[in-house]
Chains A and B, each alone.
Chain A
């Protein structure tokens, strides 16, 4: 289907018109000897140039309560119900065989995490040991994590990136950029990690918490936070609790030590 004139085309035409108008003003001002016109001509050309640069970027359009997301969550909810999963999700940071990380949902309450049997193509984690069986899903926040890498280039490998303040800056930056939240705090005490942040729109939080889905399979916002923290610590984390109190979300995580 052929697309009509969109917003971006209008902006491009406007920027080109600004540049042309600016150049005409500049030449006219120079010929007439009017400095104000020369100034305005230069200024308009620069503004047109900047506008042209902005039109060549991809626009971020993210809606937390979008129906597409709701449908995806509905699908995951069915998986969780079908397998009768009662434990909280386990966040796996990006690894060699799991490039974008994952959320592992064990079938049994006493479980073991065996990373050697999980890879990019795994959905059902099958093993001889009953405790290692489960469901491996891609985390919902991985798209936002990629966005953060694109904008900030953080990989948490260099010594300055290993500082907790750098992580906080990253998370605060992402929430502000998408206008979905603010005031992120990360507290690490031994094996317990508590992330808290203020969310702008908690409609989805309410729904997910009502259905006890948050703890098992967090939404993209909580998902990107837990995934980034797991990547920063380079540790497998268990989601103990996610609660929302007066538009402030608290995520309690626990480091899993005995990972195979």
Chain B
């Protein structure tokens, strides 16, 4: 139970901190993805398979968002 609590506390604190400090949605999403990846890799093994599979869904969603952000940036650079 304590690992879930740690996960939630850290992600909630980072959401509040990033949303206050960062004035750009894309940067916020990337930082949130990094925090999520870090927490998931550290605490993921302590969750059962069902939770891990469900958390994977959030991860895939985030990766999709990340790919869109990267493509937008690439197009922005190429178009000058």
Contacts and interface: CB of A to CB of B under 8 A. Distances in A.
A54 B48 contact: no
A59 interface: yes
B25 A50 contact: no
B12 A47 contact: yes
Contacts of B16: 40, 43
B37 interface: no
Contact count band on A: 20 to 34
Interface string A30-52: 00000110111011101101110
Contacts of A151: 45, 48-49
B22 A39 contact: yes
Interface in B1-38: 1-2, 4, 7-8, 11-12, 15-16, 18-20, 22-25, 28-29, 32, 36
Contacts of A53: 51, 54-55, 58
Contacts of B58: 46, 49-50, 53
Interface residues of B, number: 30
Give 6 nearest A-B pairs by CB, closest first: A43-B15, A39-B19, A40-B19, A53-B54, A39-B28, A57-B51
A209 B6 CA distance: 37
A47 B48 contact: no
Contacts of B50: 56-57
Contacts of B51: 53-54, 56-57
A44 B55 contact: no
B47 interface: yes
19 contacts: A35-B25, A36-B19, A36-B20, A39-B15, A42-B32, A43-B15, A46-B11, A46-B32, A46-B58, A49-B58, A50-B8, A50-B58, A53-B51, A58-B48, A150-B49, A151-B49, A152-B45, A176-B46, A177-B46
DSSP majority for the A interface?
A: helix
A39 B54 contact: no
Interface of B: 1-2, 4, 7-8, 11-12, 15-16, 18-20, 22-25, 28-29, 32, 36, 45-51, 54-55, 58
Contact of B8 (A40, A51, A179): A51
Given A47-B15, A56-B54, A173-B45, A36 B23 contact: yes
A57 B54 CA distance: 10
A40 B49 contact: no
Contacts of B47: 57
A50 B51 CA distance: 9
A118 B71 CA distance: 64
Contact of A43 (B2, B32, B46, B49): B32
Contacts of A173: 45
Nearest to B58: A49
Contact of B11 (A50, A60, A177): A50
A4 interface: no
Given A36-B19, A43-B19, A46-B58, A54 B45 contact: no
B17 to A, nearest CB: 10
Given A51-B8, A57-B47, A46 B20 contact: no
Interface string A139-167: 00000000000111100000000000000
